[in-house]
A and B are shown apart, each in its own frame.
Chain A
Amino acid sequence: MDIHITDLAHSYPNSVEALRGVSLDVPSGSQLALLGQNGAGKTTLVKHLNGLLKPTRGTVRVGDWDTREHSIAQLARRVGFVFQNPDDQLFKTRVWDEIAYGPLNLHLTQEDVNTRVERALEACELGNVRDSHPYDLPLWQRRWVALASVVAMQTPIVVLDEPTTGQDAFGLARLVRLLEFWHAQGATVIAVTHDVDFAVEHFSELLVMAEGRVIARGDAQILANEQVVKDAALDAPQLMRLARALGWQVLPVTPKQFVEALASH
């Protein structure tokens, strides 16, 4: 399902202009990482995708729907949103019920719901806590329950808000497998993230925002541009910084690329 954003602007009630004219086309199946510091407009932008925010100016189309013409609950069928704080949504007394909540709202058959929940439990490695009370689990595991509830909704578009927060190596590996799962399903994934290294390794496309505008879009090499990195107050990926410090001309991004480049020096 494609996303078309045309000249989107958004001002909050306190008249802060969070978005100043963003135009963006995201074809179906894309995996996009949104980078930029706090206040750049990343979260404001993605909240327009499921109707949490409506444009002050411009349009947002999710597939054939103009988001202004549909409620948040309706858009939830097309856009799954994983919030930063899992505690904002957990309210059931069993993990299983929590994950089933979203699919049940979609009015599916009980059989469909069961299948989806089981698949989500497996993908998020929550099988052994399916009957636990979500609040008995530690915070990092509650994050996975929140992720699982969106996995179970099987929406064509998925938005992740800071998915790498508080994840250890196992969690990050599981997240990568989830991204691959979504990719295989043809789902569009948009992730807002601070973790530049994770973004360049697992997202084919990056979008850099600063002060309510998109200032760069492309693959990891856009971060080789020092002006972009400075304007967005980002850190360039670790290996890119190392390569630059070593005086290399071509700046690799991933460990593999780095080693290739090292071999040729």
Chain B
Amino acid sequence: MSILSVRNLSFRYQQATVPALRDISFEVESGTVTAIVGANGAGKSTLGYALAGYIPHFFKGEMQGTVRVNNADTRQTPLASLVTQVGLVFQNPFNQISGAKLTVAEEVAFGLENLGVPREEMTMRVQRALELFGLDQVANQSPFALSGGQQQRLALASIFVMEPPVMVLDEPTAQLDPVGTREVMESIVALAQRGQTIVFMEHKLEWVARLASRVLVLDQGALVAIGEPRQLLARADEWGLNETRYARAARLAKARGLIAKDALLPQTLEQAREILDL
């Protein structure tokens, strides 16, 4: 049974004339990493909200179809319960700092405090989360003293510590520099290696190719393609995605007859080497 099941999901925000999501259906298996890509305005964030239950419980509008998390219908389940099933991490690192805690460790513990976890267990889980995301050295610093990459890892740790079966990451590196981006992506790799079910929205296709086992392409609210990353990303220009330079160079090389016409476009450095080292 899939951990996430979306059937004919459509949604229109209350003030909008055009629907943000149109008849979307897909399943996510436990332990997988799924990437959702699409041009700006395609509906990636909206889909993220629907997976986490913020649609319909937080955002007003017209929702049709169903989203089931562990077989529970998000419409019938209260948000307080849903947030323990699907943890959502947002783009802006700063807005996710609660502001009520003076240290990184306390900040990570915040969610567990709200869930009434006993202190002993809390300490253990927080320590584990700090180590997993490389924050144990800064555990006693103020969250506001951290770099962007560290703050975003803090957001990841704070959600991870609540042990949600699914984590949804909405463009987690959009506001980070390359160093921060790498730190966060490596954290996501670590999460995936532990078998965490991850759904992430992303523009940087090289990382999508590296991390995801499956890609969903959104275009103006509709799901236009699902499949294996390398296959799908080769059609990046159809959907307004930022294809990697490797792919673009390979495309030109194909046109010049320098590589086989049926060769699959590479999205990462390793894939490019494979094609060219022959």
Residues of A within 8 A of B (CB): 37-38, 136, 138, 140-141, 165-172, 194, 196-197, 233-235, 237-239, 241-242, 245-246, 255-256, 258-259, 262-263
Q: Is the CB of B178 within 8 A of A255?
A: no
Q: Is the CB of B178 within 8 A of A235?
A: yes
Partner of B273, one of A170, A233, A242: A242
B84 to chain A, nearest CB (A): 28
Partner of B241, one of A138, A168, A239, A241: A168
Q: Is the CB of B147 within 8 A of A238?
A: no
Residue B263 at the chain A interface, CB threshold 8 Å: no
Residues of B within 8 A of A (CB): 15, 39-41, 147-148, 171, 174-175, 177-179, 203, 206, 236-237, 240-246, 248-249, 251-253, 256, 258, 269, 272-273, 276-277
- Complex CA gap A170/B220 in Å reads 14
B267 to chain A, nearest CB (A): 10
List 29 A-B pairs, Cβ < 8 Å. Answer: A38-B148, A38-B179, A166-B40, A166-B175, A166-B203, A167-B40, A167-B242, A168-B39, A168-B240, A168-B242, A170-B39, A170-B240, A235-B178, A238-B206, A241-B269, A242-B246, A242-B272, A242-B276, A246-B277, A255-B245, A255-B251, A258-B252, A259-B249, A259-B253, A259-B258, A262-B253, A262-B258, A262-B276, A263-B256
B20 to chain A, nearest CB (A): 10
Tally of contacts, chain A with chain B, CB under 8 A? 91
Main secondary structure of the interface of A (DSSP, over half): helix
Q: Which 4 A-B pairs have the closest CB atoms?
A: A238-B245, A255-B249, A140-B40, A168-B39
Q: Is the CB of B237 within 8 A of A165?
A: no
Q: Is the CB of B256 within 8 A of A242?
A: no
Which chain A positions have C-beta within 8 A of B258? 259, 262-263
